[in-house]
Amino acid sequence: MSLQVYSTLSRKKEPFETIEPKRVRLYVCGPTVYDKAHVGHAMSALVFDIIRRYLQYRGYEVKHVMNYTDVDDKIINRANKLGCDPFELAETYIQQYAQHLKDLNILPATVNPRATREMDEILKLISDLIAKGYAYEAGGDVYYRVEKKADYGKLSGRKLDDMRAGARIEVDERKENPLDFALWKAAKEGEPAWDSPWGKGRPGWHIECSAMSGAHLGEQIDIHGGGNDLIFPHHENEIAQSEAHTGKQFARYWIHNGMLQLSGEKMSKSLGNLITIEDFLASHPADALRLMVLNSGYRNPLTFNDEVIGQAEKALERLQSALKPAAPGAAGISPEALKALDEQTTTTRAGFESSMDDDFNSAGALGYLFELVRVINQARADGATDEQLKSAQDVLEELSGVLGLRLRLEKESHAADAFVDLLVEVRQDVRQAKLWELSDKIRDRLAAMGVQVEDAKSGSTWFWK
């Protein structure tokens, strides 16, 4: 079975076929940079990182574009409030966000365009939409004419008539239809502004993505992604703009991640219930968050609280447990047992792939990895040598890596390793002499310094915790 991908547009899984063989054009909506990013942003970035890594594992070359919205009402308001320059404010948060992505082991996008640096493309696109009759100028603003396009609403499953009925939209008599949305906003005094055929102003939110996607990935792309809160109006409007412009289908697959839930509610700035990425990383490993994301379907809401964070951290340790070295003095396991271990690695890879092929079912894939963990640990408990464990451990590490997990973390500096070795060796003599108090003291003190010592029948192993 080949890769199946669920698309919001068709509301079903479809076979994944790219425009160009073995190449994927991926556009993911990035953040509006006016404040610290929270773990919900991280979830979305992680979801698409996992998708990207798996596509690469499957042999696709992925061109990944993630934009920064660096000019917008919220940025301007915030800058005014703080009395700083809006561009500097945006720059600060862009740098911070890029660092978060790095900390979270998220592969850098191929391109990170910014709205303010793509103004020519944006202006060209708006002009073309006006020329084609899909947009109109009104008092320095430019609006998209939603009624001009018959299939407006196809992504979110809405009809114009229904929307108007329960509309919570402010009335603006400059608009022909209250649902028309701004492509260009006339600048007010003191606001950042660019010259345009309609006077000084700045782009609306939706147009930048259409322009940047077109500029960096071409008229048609394979995957457009983002949080499911962007389906309407943002992505709906992107489709309208791009398809009105090119007359072609914009994105083949629309992939949307579910919202992270904090105490039963979506985490969002307006609700004020957010946990920043900074706060999270201050007290938890990055992979714990990744594991939480992996452990559930990316389209479903993700439960986020202290309990599940703790569960994820423990689960991470379990994955890592399989990479521990053989017991000291291991005698080796039988050829039959070794064969069973090899067979399990084959089963694991097959199961991993078939799960991930099914719309990136990472929770299913993880299940197979845990099975391999169990079998590796069984083999070690039965006396397998490092040599015998190696190929299974390599597969576990490789497949975990496909999910973006780093099981072998570089912990403390290696400078102290030789001293720890010495201490553990001396302690071994102490144990032989049955000086248990001293032996336990060494172990406790090492533990306090972050060294976990584990005793076995014929010796001890240790590692940085």
Partner RNA sequence: GGCGACGUGGCCAAGUGGGAAGGCAAGGGUCUGCAAAACCCUGAUCACGGGUUCAAAUCCCGUCGUCGCCUCCA
- Report the site for RNA in 287-326 (rule: CB under 7 A): 292, 295-297, 299-303, 307-308, 310-311, 314-315, 317-318, 321, 324
Residue 347 main-chain phi, psi, to 5 deg: -60, -40
Give one word for 365, left, alpha or beta, with left for phi > 0 and alpha for psi -120 to 50.
alpha
Among 25, 41, 78, 284, binds RNA (CB under 7 A): 41
Among 84, 167, 422, 433, binds RNA (CB under 7 A): 167
Minimal distance, residue 401 CB to RNA, in Å: 18
Position 157 contacts RNA (CB under 7 A): yes
Which residues within the stretch 54-83 sit at the binding site for RNA (CB under 7 A)?
A: 69, 74
Position 233 contacts RNA (CB under 7 A): yes
Minimal distance, residue 198 CB to RNA, in Å: 20
Position 377 contacts RNA (CB under 7 A): yes
Stretch that binds RNA, among 27-35, 102-110, 238-246, 393-401 (CB under 7 A): 27-35
Comparing CB distances to RNA, the nearer of 24 and 231 is: 231
Minimal distance, residue 404 CB to RNA, in Å: 17
Tokens of 23: 């190449």
Comparing CB distances to RNA, the nearer of 195 and 343 is: 343
Position 194 contacts RNA (CB under 7 A): no
Comparing CB distances to RNA, the nearer of 128 and 382 is: 382
Report the 10 Å Cβ neighbour count for 355: 19
Which residues within the stretch 391-410 sit at the binding site for RNA (CB under 7 A)?
A: none
Position 165 contacts RNA (CB under 7 A): yes
Minimal distance, residue 248 CB to RNA, in Å: 24
Stretch that binds RNA, among 93-101, 373-381, 383-391, 414-422 (CB under 7 A): 373-381
Comparing CB distances to RNA, the nearer of 273 and 391 is: 273
Minimal distance, residue 29 CB to RNA, in Å: 5
Comparing CB distances to RNA, the nearer of 119 and 435 is: 435
Minimal distance, residue 156 CB to RNA, in Å: 6
Q: Binding string to RNA for residues 348 to 367, with x set by CB under 7 A, is what?
A: -------x--xx-x-xx-xx
Among 142, 146, 223, 231, binds RNA (CB under 7 A): 231
**What's the CA gap between 220 and 452, in Å, rounded?**
53
Q: Binding string to RNA for residues 87 to 126, with x set by CB under 7 A, is what?
A: ----------------------------------------
Produce one character per residue of 258-280: b if its CB has 16 or more CB atoms within 10 Å, e if not: bbbbbeeebbeeeeeebbbbeeb
Minimal distance, residue 317 CB to RNA, in Å: 6
Comparing CB distances to RNA, the nearer of 134 and 352 is: 352
Which residues within the stretch 252-271 sit at the binding site for RNA (CB under 7 A)?
A: 257-261, 264-270
CA dihedral 102, 107, 111, 117 (to 10 degrees): -20
Minimal distance, residue 22 CB to RNA, in Å: 26
**What's the CA gap between 196 and 379, in Å, rounded?**
69
Position 32 contacts RNA (CB under 7 A): yes
How far is CA 357 from each of CA 132, 246, 433, rounded to the nearest angstrom? 41, 31, 57
Position 228 contacts RNA (CB under 7 A): yes
With contact defined as beta carbons under 8 Å apart, do 82 and 89 qualify? yes
Comparing CB distances to RNA, the nearer of 59 and 264 is: 264
Comparing CB distances to RNA, the nearer of 61 and 279 is: 279
Among 31, 113, 201, 214, binds RNA (CB under 7 A): 31
Among 81, 168, 248, 414, binds RNA (CB under 7 A): 168
Which residues within the stretch 414-453 sit at the binding site for RNA (CB under 7 A)?
A: 431, 436, 439-440, 443, 452-453
Minimal distance, residue 34 CB to RNA, in Å: 9
Position 380 contacts RNA (CB under 7 A): yes
**What's the CA gap between 201 and 84, in Å, rounded?**
20
